[in-house]
Amino acid sequence: MSNKPVQAAIDGWFTLNADTPHLIGACCDHCGTYYFPKTLKFCKNPACDSSEFSEVELSRSGKIWSYTNACYKPPEPFVADEPFVP
């Protein structure tokens, strides 16, 4: 193991515990719907109008329902190596 300090790639998206890392999400206090990432202003569940959330550590296992393979050069301000290769 390295002696370098652990640093988050994106602050607030996951715990920094090396043994059991978790994604950090939000759970609606009213209906119990989970969200990731946790930055929400209102519940997106159509049956709920709450704006109160609790921060939660999300499960370490689950199912991928969808994904995107973005093979295009990212727009500014994101940096892509030149020549861009997806």
- The Cα–Cα gap between 19 and 79 comes to 32
- pLDDT tens for 28-43 read 999 999 998 887 899 9
The residue-averaged pLDDT of 6-13 equals: 80
How much is the pLDDT for 1? 55
Secondary structure of residue 19 in the 3-state scheme: coil
Q: How many CB atoms lie within 10 A of CB 85?
A: 8
Predicted TM-score (pTM) above 0.75: no
- pLDDT tens for 25-84 read 999 999 999 998 887 899 999 999 999 999 999 998 888 889 888 788 777 777 767 787
The domains of the chain are located at: 1-58
> Which is more confident, 19 or 50?
50
